[in-house]
Structure 1
């Protein structure tokens, strides 16, 4: 059985969603962030040296990094679902979104969060984070024009990966600014496994 090491308020919610979509047996091992530092507990380092989440265990393998976990699970368990055919134009597009989620998209959002938490006046970083965030989120929003899903008009691992970015946009109260992302969020919420993942995450945090 797959074990998912899940940290509250983290990227691993989307792995719960994917596991629910795949309808395979798994166990959640929950961890809670420190209430003061918001850091992951040291116990996670016994699973992976970086002490981060999500991490899965499957058939003796330990797999870290959300994108790698998503690709691993889809390749092994999806039976042709949730990813376009390898070698196709759609697969290249799919792969770019998988990696965009944890590279170009997330970096400026994290920088904004860190600047806000620090509370200091910056000479460069705050302005850079604002400009880069607008650039990448506007690109995401424009890419969703007249679309239900990111690739081939069907749910894929790309959508599951980008759902974390959607949550941040929602948390920042910017759905009015990014109408296509707001509509996309509503589309993702039509999937029963998405709703189930939210319930499971709340239960794991209780």
Structure 2
């Protein structure tokens, strides 16, 4: 049985949401952060050598890393749903935004958390990333891959919502991006996943 090991207020909320979007059976094992340090408990860190969320287990398999887990679940249980095939006209756009969240947006936002010497550079980079998202939606696209909701959207929502529990992120200059967040929040699978993963977390959408 596929088990999603969910650390509260973490990237593992993506995996809970993915399973709900695909409507596949899974078990949810929930772990709470330390109330003082806000770090993962030792039981979660022991799941995988990375010590980070997300982690899944599936029989004898233990797998970490958001992208790897999403690729595994989509291929193993999702029949390729929520992705685009190579001959789709929006395939390259899909690939870009799918890797954008953890390749570009997340690293600069993580560095904003410590307020160190790179903060000013990362603030500029985060601003350019948000501007790119705003421009994409200003062109009339419904989702990141165009007209198809995909795992690119699942990857990108975390830094724009849940991660704001740790950093200040002003989205007021980006009306099209905020409209996109509201569209996502209306998806039934998103709402179900939130209720299961982090029922007490208020998701900021603007």
Give me the TM-score of the superposition, normalised by structure 1.
Answer: 0.87
Q: 2-side partners of 1:101 and 1:8: how far apart?
A: 19
Match of 1:151 in 2: 145
- Three-state SS of the structure 2 residue aligned to 1:175 is coil
Where has structure 1 moved over 6 Å in runs of 4 or more?
A: none
1:5 partner SS: strand
Partners in 2 of 1:178 and 1:136 — Cα distance?
A: 11
Task: Tell me, in whole angstroms, the C-alpha distance in 1 between the residues paired with 2:49 and 2:28.
Answer: 19
CA distance in 2, matches of 1:55, 1:31: 11
Q: 1:28 aligns to what SS in structure 2?
A: strand
Contact 1:169 1:175 in 2 (8 A): no
Q: 1: CA distance between counterparts of 2:2 and 2:200? A: 16
Taking only aligned residues, the RMSD between alpha carbons, in angstroms, comes to 2.1
> Aligned partners of 1:159, 1:189: CA distance in 2, in Å?
11
Larger CA deviation: 134-143 vs 160-169: 160-169
TM-aligned CA deviation for residue 176 of structure 1: 1.7
Question: What does residue 162 of structure 1 align with?
Answer: 156
Gaps of 5+ in 1: 116-121
Give the match's secondary structure for 2:40: coil
Paired with 1:80 and 1:69, the residues of 2 have a C-alpha distance of 13
- After TM superposition, the score normalised by the length of structure 2 is 0.87
Partner SS state of residue 56, structure 2: strand
Query: 1:65-109 CA deviation, whole Å, 9 max, x = no partner?
Result: 111111111122222421111354423322222211112111111
- Structure 2: distance between partners of 1:168 and 1:203: 12
- Long gaps (5+) in structure 2: 202-206
Count of matched residue pairs: 198
Secondary structure, counterpart of 1:4 in structure 2: strand
Once the two structures are TM-superposed, the CA of residue 174 in structure 1 deviates from its matched residue by 2.4
Deviation of the 1:46 alpha carbon: 2.5
Matches within 5 A, 1:1-206: 1-115=1-115, 122=116, 124-145=117-138, 146-167=140-161, 172=168, 174-203=170-199
